Structure 1
Amino acid sequence: MDENEPLINRSGDKTIIIYTRRWWVLAIFSLNCFMQAIIWNTWGPIAQSAKEVFGWDDGQLGMLPNWGNIGFIATVIFASYIMDEKGLRISCVVCSGLISAGAALRCITSIPKYATWLINTSAILNGIAGTVFFAGPALIASVWFPLDQRATATAIGSFFNYAGVAVGFVIGPQLVSAPKYNHSSATGPSQSNDLTTDISVTTASYDNHTTLLNYSQLQTETMWLMYYECMAAGALFIAGLIYFPNKPPTPPSYTASVKRIEYTNALGKIIRNGPVWLISLAYALPAGVYGVWGSVLDVILNPVGVSQANVGWIGFFATMAGCFGSLVIARFADLFMKHMKLFLVCLYICGGGSYVWFTLICTKIIPYSLVQIYISCIIGCIFLNGGIPLFYELSCEVSYPIAEGITGAFLTLLNNSFGVMFLLALQIPNIGTSWMNWTLLGSIAVGLLFMFAFPESYGRTDLDMEIDIPAPTEEEKSIVFIPNGSNKIIVNDDILTTTHDIAAT
């Protein structure tokens, strides 16, 4: 039997066949999402250390994630064309290679003059690679997964993207120490002339010195952090190169088999589609601001008195909570179809309330409490990140039959555009940090207005539910011998068997 031939094969009818290899495809895709996000979030969690090693300021630190967003914006339309016209394999493998190449560039030298250029170039390559891995979860779900697993599969892809951001908050501060300083002051005589009496006056002067004690340690640890990330990215590139099929032999749903609108026509239709604009802006404005807000969380909380290590743990716990929240919420959305708008409105209201609490603590309207900062950040992230997979799915519903890759690219293009505008504001001299929290709150409020105006519809799901799919017959059910000695009934799967593998009943 050919390895691409499914166990159940009824050519010419509407039988839906599900392949177990879909989990391998989703795993490789998701781990690349994870790696791309870790590299994107390398510098924010170790901001104070990076400033000392490379001589950067807040503006330079803000530009590193911003270069990723700019690279994304410049290439996402072309990437969506490659995904839909050339398929998932070539687009995913090429972008995985870009992640590896960008990670390798950072490992060449630690000399600040050259390293700064290489690290900025790496950030651009990593941002270009994110076009597929950030915009593609809904496409992977549509190509490989059945109707009742699509939102969950999209959530898993998004989960690993944000889990990468979360892990970046932890591995940086764990592998790279915080700067250690020695503060000293010297006292000595100083002479000056009294202009009224022309008498020389001797006074005491004080000269304060701050010395960095662990520069060599910071430099070595920063380079090892980049070495580790480069090795992990290379391993994922090789795994995808070895096996990452373009699509299953047969589609997992009726709509997955339907030919979509031609690429250039699809771009025109999506730009003229009012509901797509409403749901896209409802997602992109808060998510775009929130994504880059988290990348400079150390810059935001440093004036409040929160240490680099604590900021790392806040970012980690908040983002991981949001990731798991997205899985739970997406599963509920799969079970209770056609209620996504209600879910999203409730999530935004609760998330906005949490960040009002956080902002009031940072502005000292509420007395400072590290515990409250932890709790408000974690709860807020659960609600804001938890709804992201639903936005992707709902956008694909209202844009159908436009291909999911184009719709995902449109959402992420807007998302990154708002992120770029937020980070560019850091280049304004002496702008401070308090504006960042208020901007986040404003973006959530505007996103809610777009959600209220959005007319909910489910064109893709309605079509899939109307198609009558016959159940497999008893003859099509096989008892397959599993190597551990147990017998297992496999239905609609791609486990390969030969005649002597079939257990007698």
Structure 2
Amino acid sequence: MPKEQTEERTPILGTKGASGDATSVYKRRWYIVLVFSIGTFIQACAWNSWGPITASAEAVFGWHDSQIGMLANDANIGYMVTVLLFCYFMDVKGLRISTLICAVLLFVGAAIRCITMEPTVMTVCSPIASVLFGIGSTVLFAGPPKFSSVWFPPEQRTFATAIVSFANYFGNAMGFIIGPLMVSSPTTVCENSTHLNSTLELADIATTMPAINISNTSCVTVCVNKSDLIVEIRHLMYVHAGIAALFLVMVIVYFPDKPPKPPSNTASMERTEWLKGLRMLAKNSSFWLVVFASMISNGVLGQWVTVLYINLKTYGITQNQAGYMGFWQTLVGCTAGLVIAWFSDMFMRRMKLILLFLFLAATLATFWFTAICEKYIPFDITSLYTSCILIGVFINGGVPLFYEITCEASYPVAEGVTGGVMTLVNGIFGILFLFVMYIKDIGTNWMNWALLGSHLAALPLLALFTERYRRTDLDLTVAKRSSSVSGDVQVDR
């Protein structure tokens, strides 16, 4: 047997289950996390391409606010239409081929935006790219629970899910930084334009008088750095395409479906057949309570932050300020997710209590942000930054817990199906939020109230949810039986 194959089959950590089947944990799982995280990073970064550079994109391509919002919506639509199909594919064909297809779609989507910066072509190519990003994100966005259950033991599953979730939010956050750093704001000047309306000749008056010109002078706004913006946006598109190419190459080189031996007993157990699993989810009231509680709020917040500049420009917030605000909200929020996930792994049966606290705190932070914008309290940029960041801490910080608690509530339905349905609901609420922007003369004040309402709607749903840890209970039961029979102590080497 080749040396490489021998190493592949050598467990880092091994025990015998009650049934005699070995369970092992492999160090290469951290490489798999890295690859998956790079994919979620570039997917989120590319998805959030245009919102942080709205003013620049509008100056170069002649777009409007509604078109910027629709580019994010195109990705949502592509995701929603295909997510269940890809979840089926992921459960039937495995993680490798599913992830490879998504990597190809992400690269193609990023590459077609590099073809030309000609406005007419970009107006066509950008929506197509957004749809490809949406389809390419299906496994990356819905797959973390499946991925963590296949590669990680029970005591590391939530943390592994949190790492991938962190990469997703970090990509979204870097979209707020990379865009404004690489693409400068448009510089405009007002050029006077005189239009001759009419000439009045007084021919009937005996005294000779010159003709009187009645004219109108108007100001035409002209972008004087448009050529620089075109080059900068092209370079931004190159960066996205380069990272997408790296992800594709890494998946091709090494990304197996699963480890040679499962990390836990439940990881090796057969899951419910796909269609039967969907029917079971449809009848599972506890599952729907926690899904709607999490995805109403996360769906709205995910789109709210991508149009943050559009929301705040009426209050004098610049494109760069909105970018940094979105960056810090997302970065601090996803970092909080890692800490909260690590903490919840130590207290595995307290997820609901933790989530209730997070959502209550998020409601207060959102009300603070809304009160500042509505001038109920004095407008202060520091307070606006602080409240915006706290929203991200309390909502984004709870995402890994929601992934895990829904998989616990839906077990033995496959994690891919559960994650797909969960993120499908997320996309529905995100699309509804962005479609409101198309209502004529609706303005932007409604955005903050919609975000606040999503948190308030989630609280009673979460309070009604009954915690069940079917998957964890089974793992612990089998592990205890195995330990009593073999007396082995598991050590990570």
TM-score, normalization by structure 2:
0.92
Q: Among 213, 231, 250, which residue is 2:224 paired with?
A: 213
Question: What corresponds to 1:243 in structure 2?
Answer: 254
Distance in 2 (CA, whole Å) between partners of 1:76 and 1:448 is: 27
Q: 1:13 Cα deviation (Å)?
A: 2.3
1:166 aligned to which of 150, 173, 184 = 173
Instruction: Look up the match of 2:7.
Output: 3
**Relative to structure 2, which stretch is displaced further, 290-299 or 465-474?**
465-474
Q: Which residue of 2 aligns with 1:103?
A: 110
Q: Conserved in 2, the CA contact under 8 Å of 1:154 and 1:389?
A: yes
Q: Please tell me whether residue 294 in structure 1 is matched to residue 301 in structure 2.
A: no
For 1:164, the aligned partner's letter is: G
Structure 1 partner of 2:350: 339
SS of 2:221's partner is strand
- Are the counterparts in 2 of residues 340 and 390 from structure 1 also a CA contact under 8 Å? yes
The correspondence for 2:374, drawn from 363, 381, 384, is: 363
* 1:394-413 alignment, distance < 5 Å: 394-413=405-424
Contact 1:15 1:470 in 2 (8 A): no
Superposed, which structure 2 residues align to 1:91-240 within 5 Å?
91-185=98-192, 205-240=216-251
> Separation in 1 of the partners of 2:443 and 2:287?
35
Secondary structure in structure 2 of the residue aligned to 1:3 = helix
How far off its partner does 1:203 sit?
6.9
Q: What's the % identity of the aligned pairs?
A: 43
CA distance in 1, matches of 2:196, 2:34: 69
Asked if 1:470 corresponds to 2:477, the answer is no
Secondary structure of 1:225's counterpart equals helix
**Partner of residue 80, structure 1:** 87
Determine the C-alpha separation between the residues in 2 that align with 1:286 and 1:310: 24
Q: Distance in 2 between matches of 1:13 and 1:188?
A: 90
Identify the residue that residue 48 of structure 2 maps to in structure 1: 41
Secondary structure at the aligned position of 2:137 is classed as helix
1:425 positional shift: 1.2
C-alpha deviation, 1:3, in angstroms: 2.6
The corresponding residue for 1:443 is 454
Q: Which residue of 2 aligns with 1:483?
A: none
Quote the offset at 1:192 in angstroms: 8.2
Q: From the superposition, tell whether residues 98 and 471 of structure 1 become closer, same or farther in structure 2 (CA, over 3 Å).
A: farther
Conserved in 2, the CA contact under 8 Å of 1:83 and 1:405?
yes
Change (3 A) 1:98 1:353: same
Cα deviation for residue 254 of structure 1 reads 1.2
- CA–CA distance in structure 1, aligned partners of residues 391 and 199 of structure 2: 59
Distance 2:164 2:220 in 1: 50
What is aligned with 2:25? 18
> What is the aligned length?
478
Shift of 1:345: 0.7
User: What is the CA-CA distance between 1:461 and the residue it aligns to?
Assistant: 1.0
The answer to which of 14-23 and 446-455 deviates more is 14-23
- The residue number in structure 1 matching 2:70 is 63
Shift of 1:202: 7.0
Distance 2:7 2:274 in 1: 32
CA distance in 1 between partners of 2:316 and 2:124 (Å): 31
Residues 78-136 of structure 1: CA distance to partner in whole angstroms, max 9, x if unpaired?
01001111111111111011100100010111111111111110000000011100111
- Cα distance, 1:457 vs. partner? 1.1
Q: Secondary structure at the match of 1:17?
A: strand
User: Aligned equivalents of 1:244 and 1:208: distance in 2?
Assistant: 58
* Match for residue 253 of structure 1 among 253, 261, 264: 264
Aligned ranges 1:299-318 → 2 under 5 Å: 299-318=310-329
Distance in structure 1 (CA, Å) of the matches to 2:444 and 2:222 = 26
Q: Which stretch shifts more, 288-297 or 175-184?
A: 175-184
Aligned pairs (5 A) from 1:419-458: 419-458=430-469
Q: Unaligned regions of 5+ residues in structure 1, if any?
A: 478-489, 494-505
Once the two structures are superposed, residues 155-189 of structure 1 have per-residue CA deviations (whole angstroms, 9 ceiling, x without a partner) of 11111111100000000000001000112446899
Q: CA distance change for structure 1 residues 491 and 178 in 2, over 3 Å: closer, same or farther?
A: same
Q: Does 1:266 align with 2:272?
A: no
The residue identity in structure 1 corresponding to 2:130 is: A
What is the identity, as a one-letter code, of the residue corresponding to 2:338?
L
Distance 1:188 1:412 in 2: 55
Summarize the Cα distance change of 1:190–1:120 in structure 2 as closer, same or farther, 3 Å threshold: closer
Report the CA distance shift for 1:182/1:9 in structure 2 as closer, same or farther (over 3 A): closer
The Cα RMSD (Å) is 2.3
CA distance in 2, matches of 1:473, 1:492: 17
Matched letter for residue 354 of structure 1: A
> Structure 2: where are the runs of 5+ without partners?
none
Moved more, 207-216 or 220-229: 207-216
Question: What displacement does 1:191 show?
Answer: 6.6
Residue number in structure 1 paired with 2:360: 349
Deviations 1:259-312 (Å, cap 9, x if unpaired)?
Answer: 011111001111111111101000110100000001100100111100101111
| 1:405-438 CA distance string (max 9 Å, x none) | 0000010000001101111111122211000110
Between 1:161-170 and 1:10-19, the stretch displaced more is 10-19
2:8 is aligned with what amino acid? N
Secondary structure of 1:211 counterpart: strand
